[in-house]
Amino acid sequence: MQKAKPKHTLLFTVVFLSIGIGVIIAFNATKPQDQQVHGESIAYHHHAMLGYYLNGQKQVVPANIGIGIDNGLGPAGMFPVHTHDASGTIHIESKQAGLQLSFIQFTDVWGLDLSDKRASLFVNGALVDYKNYYFNNGDRLRLEVVD
């Protein structure tokens, strides 16, 4: 019986280690991990898009809704559901995994009083009860309000 040549042993070792390292990297990439946002660890960071219409006219969703309101559940200095700019992007960020955030919480922080108006909320094209809607990642919302 012939002994393995050192070149073959070295090649086998390199291939074996490469496969092992690849498996470890792939496994760790699929593990849920806290995200870093604004320099701190949070459980999730999701987004929804909101189009807001008042009496049929498109309105701007204000920047900085929920910024400067710290309840301890969102990133420092921010309510967990907030905006950074006037693009209509709503950020849903929480330190607590599984925390559900509602549209009503968002409108309350915004200061948008819908109580004496006719309001309809469409989520991904379907009409929903805005009083019972909770944000999901990637949802596209359209709020239609009539005075």
pLDDT at 145: 98
Question: Could you read off the pLDDT tens digit of each residue along the chain, which spans 147 residues?
Answer: 555 556 666 666 555 555 655 444 443 333 344 454 555 678 889 999 999 999 999 999 999 999 998 888 888 889 999 999 999 999 999 888 888 999 999 999 999 999 999 999 999 999 999 999 999 999 999 999 999
pLDDT at 7: 65
pLDDT at 52: 98
In CATH, what class is 36-146? mainly beta
| Measured CA distances, 68 to 17, 43, 55 (Å) | 50, 20, 30
How many residues belong to the chain?
147
**Residue extents of the structural domains in the chain:** 1-31, 36-146
Torsion of CA 40, 90, 69, 112, to 10 degrees: -170
The DSSP line for 80-119 is SEE-SSTTSEEEEEESSTT---BHHHHHHHHT---TTSEE
- Cα 144 to Cα 60: distance, rounded to the nearest angstrom: 13
